[in-house]
Chains A and B, each alone.
Chain A
Amino acid sequence: MRFRMAILVFFLCAWVSAYAEDSLEYKVKAGFLLNFIKFAEWPAAALGDKDTPIVIGVLGDNPFGPLLEKTVQNREVDGHKVSVRKYKQAKDAREAHVLFIGMKGEQLAGALKALEGSPTLTVGESDAFIDAGGMVRFVIRDEKVGFEINPASAKKAGLKIGAQLLRLAKIVGAKGE
């Protein structure tokens, strides 16, 4: 009897898992990435003509799974299509307009170094992301997603960040600045 109950419970659980939804946190973060495009301004050369898509890149670990693709599907910003690309090497990611970097420690530092000079809005979530030279870092406060921006490093890359975005962000600087 007890054994049968256990089996039943197991299947119930399995069924619940099958229903499992994608991570809410990363759905929200995917929404943020799309929004960042609307409020950042790239140098004209980086954007190209209307046929050039705006690229949201993911470098390193991809915590979004297929969520990012789902979110940007069939969307346009200022007449540009938005596409998602995944990168293994930081040097290939220089073409991305917005780049989520799922890396930590020295790997992260190396990636940010390789991206230096390219007008790529770097986004991350590791604790040391801003200190390592990243521009936007997701933070979770009161169980809600917020973000920090280091305007200085964005400026260095030739990016302009809209006032509306800055108003909602926590403005930070990398250590030693």
Chain B
Amino acid sequence: MRMRCLWIYLAASLALALSAARSEDLTPDKTSTVKPPVKSDFGDLSIEELMNIKVTSVSRKEEKVSDTAAAITVITAEDIRRSGVTSIAEALRMAPGVNVAKIDSHTYAISIRGFQSGLANKLLVLIDGRCVYSPLYSGVYWDVQDTMLEDIERIEVIRGPGATVWGANAVNGVVNIITKHSKDTQGVTAALSAGTQETTIDSVRYGGKIGAAATYRFFVKYSKAEELGLAGSGLAAHDGWSVARGGTRFDIKASRTDSVIVEGDYYKGVHEEKQLLAQLTPPFEVGHTHDASMSGGDALVRWGHNLSDTSNTSLQLYYDHTERDELKLDQDIDTLDLDFSHHIKLSRNEIVYGLGYRRVRENLNQTFTAAFDPDGRATDLFSFFGQDEITVLKDTFFVTVGSKFEHNSFTGWEIQPSVKTLWRPAKDQTVWASVSRSVRTSAPTETDLRANLLASKPFFFLPPIVAALFPNRDIPSEAEYSYELGCRAQLHKRFSLDAAGFFNQYHGLRSNEAGAFFVERLPLPLHITVPITQQADMRGETYGGEFSANWDPIDRVKFSAGYSFLKILLHKDSNARAKDAEIAEGQTPEHQFQFRSLVDLPHNLQFDTAVYFDNRLKSIGFDSNKNEAIDSPSYTRLDVRLGWRPTEHLDLSVGGQNLLKTRHEEFGPGSSEIERNVYLKLTLKF
């Protein structure tokens, strides 16, 4: 049945594509006042008229992408606009091989090549060069990583390690979010949208000039999502969410050879939460609801300097402040990061090297639920990297070797080398292969945290029993050896293919091991404690591949399709006993499929669709009554958007997300049911 729906959908997209193809000749930009020329050439048009015609240019960016010896996908500003997505997290669905599951109205489990979880920790996420994963647990708080989506230039998604250049945590992927130069965001733009689930997403930006050498922009944005129902029961999930934010960017051309970027953001938001917290008195486990608050800000300065045509340097300093006051954890984190890099192009070598220093200061709460020891500390990270791209055979064969060396306060020195080769058998074909080692550094949630997870009193004559996570001070980093192979081919001007395969070996993956129980007197009353510590006693292998194809049958129609496959195999070392240690094997979809179409229709209309399929997640939850694991079913998601852009000042769109079902779950028990969202969006530009 579902198959048939998909076919009907495909046929409908094609029919639309056809009608677009056959409709009368070219549409010069919707925005210009130029009448569509009757002729099929533009010999009669003036330069002003020509400059107003909208063309699309995929080739430019792909050129750069095709030179990369890595599995990279670029999500463009146009992709974001036409997908109708409302957050960075949702936009990542468009990159094949990225696992995106929405846990509740604002929380996401996002990973690449496995280990998907709400606490997923093997990704490096950057916004304009600022690292946004939390130093506390190496994961990302996606609910506060946002900006005005209209200001995003592109999102580069690299599947696989990027540690040689980026450093620790770039184990399974790098997400690099790059915003537009402020000269490209001049004037006033207001984007207002109202939806049935995401009720409000409003943003306004103003961009201006200071003299001839500097441009700037300011934006404010407010987002709000309604509370959802819990998967299974439909009971209130207490996950309503809203965030207000503002930000700015200045671009200054200080001289012919110097450019400076200054950026800053501030946000403040609240989300409801409901958590079961353990306590030592009856009833031992109590559901608390709470209005959690989160706020933060950052400031960044980057100075780029051209020493010559073939040599340039970049010096960057940023400060980031993150505050979250949640039931389980109350945190306050400051990060200061200084980074220098130098890029030199010689005839056969392209060398990049850099130095970095990062200081992180944490201030963490002490409650019965979660206590850090020490409750606050400052940690230092020193790093150095060097990389050389060697042209072995001009325009044809390249070898890149490099390594990152880091010293951190938790595990000391880490070395992350890589060797990459790129071969271009023909002009539009690229074959690449790479071998690399990368690490995920141990984090305070592993080395410093005592968390009382569960409490109960099974026998009235015994004191209460508490299961508690204990810190493991000496836990080593997780290390990965990755082997990758990929190819890209522009088979025709309008058709391109991309395939990548990988085999990763992991050492030091975590398992939760229970220790011998003991009696603890404090806090009162006296209780029995079962200690659980995280041990680095798991090994694992993952293998899989991602395939994508882009086809633009005509200028006004674009199709793209993606498929990814992933297999995770985990093994316990001899001293690992935990029963559920291998459970992560099934918790990332094994198969993912996506298909998107972008169609320009006559009368300045656009019709865009996207279908995503995620295979089921195994053993994502546990039913203690039946004593068996629960799976999360596979799901298919359909998004549709109809846009109308009568002038360059106005863009009106109506669309829907998750249209196939009223509600569906994406991440098993405990997660919320994601609801169909129908929205109306108005973008005004002056």
Contacts and interface: CB of A to CB of B under 8 A. Distances in A.
Interface of A: 2, 5, 9, 12-13, 15-17, 19-25, 27-28, 30-32, 34-35, 39, 67, 70-73, 75, 105, 131, 140-146, 164-165, 168, 175-176
B43 A75 contact: yes
A86 B309 CA distance: 32
B22 interface: yes
Given A13-B553, A23-B493, A28-B50, A140 B41 contact: no
B618 to A, nearest CB: 27
B18 interface: yes
Contact of A144 (B3, B17, B53): B53
Interface stretch (B7-15, B348-356, B510-518, B631-639): B7-15
- Most chain B beta-carbon contacts within 10 A, residue among A2, A23, A32, A72: A23
Contacts of A15: 18
B236 interface: no
Interface in B59-91: 60, 78
A16 B554 CA distance: 8
B553 A140 contact: no
B56 A143 contact: yes
Closest 6 CB pairs of A and B: A31-B42, A25-B55, A71-B41, A19-B21, A140-B57, A16-B553
B155 interface: no
A25 B553 contact: no
Given A19-B554, A20-B554, A143 B42 contact: no
Q: Which label, helix, strand, loop or mixed, suits the secondary structure of the A interface?
A: helix
Given A142-B184, A143-B54, A34 B3 contact: no
16 contacts: A9-B10, A13-B553, A16-B21, A20-B553, A24-B26, A24-B555, A28-B50, A31-B50, A32-B50, A39-B47, A72-B43, A144-B51, A145-B50, A165-B47, A168-B48, A175-B306
Given A39-B47, A168-B47, 10 more contacts: A9-B10, A20-B494, A25-B57, A30-B42, A31-B42, A71-B43, A75-B43, A131-B309, A142-B184, A164-B47
Contacts of B493: 23
Contacts of A73: 41, 43
Contacts of A19: 18, 21-22, 553-554
Given A24-B53, A144-B29, A70 B554 contact: no
B53 A175 contact: no
A74 to B, nearest CB: 9
A87 to B, nearest CB: 19
Contacts of B555: 21, 23-24
A176 to B, nearest CB: 7
Contact of B184 (A24, A27, A70, A141): A141
B574 interface: no
A144 B43 contact: no
A167 B3 CA distance: 56
Contact of B557 (A16, A28, A175): A16
A168 B50 CA distance: 11
Contacts of A164: 47
B52 interface: yes
A168 B48 CA distance: 8
B255 interface: no
Contacts of B625: none
B47 A35 contact: yes
B309 A175 contact: yes
A30 to B, nearest CB: 7
A73 B555 CA distance: 23
Contact of A13 (B14, B51, B60): B14
A71 B42 contact: yes
Contact of B55 (A21, A131, A140): A140
Contacts of A165: 47
A70 B42 CA distance: 9
Nearest to A27: B42
Contacts of A30: 41-43
B624 interface: no
Contact of B18 (A16, A105, A142): A16
B7 to A, nearest CB: 5
B40 A70 contact: yes
A144 B78 CA distance: 13
A2 B42 contact: no
A137 B557 CA distance: 27
B46 interface: yes
B557 to A, nearest CB: 7
A168 B57 contact: no
Given A24-B26, A24-B555, A16 B47 contact: no
A144 B309 CA distance: 28
B45 interface: yes
Nearest to B15: A12
Contacts of A12: 11, 14, 18
Contacts of A144: 29, 51-55
Nearest to A169: B47
A72 B44 CA distance: 10
A146 B57 CA distance: 13
Contacts of A140: 55, 57, 60
Interface string B281-309: 00000000000000000000000001001
A28 B42 contact: yes
B45 A31 contact: yes
A25 B252 CA distance: 31
B47 A28 contact: no
Contacts of B22: 19
A176 B310 CA distance: 12
Contacts of B45: 31, 35
A70 B40 CA distance: 9
B11 A9 contact: yes
Given A19-B22, A23-B555, A24-B555, A32 B14 contact: no
B42 A176 contact: no
Contacts of B26: 21, 24, 27
- Most chain B beta-carbon contacts within 10 A, residue among A28, A32, A39, A165: A28
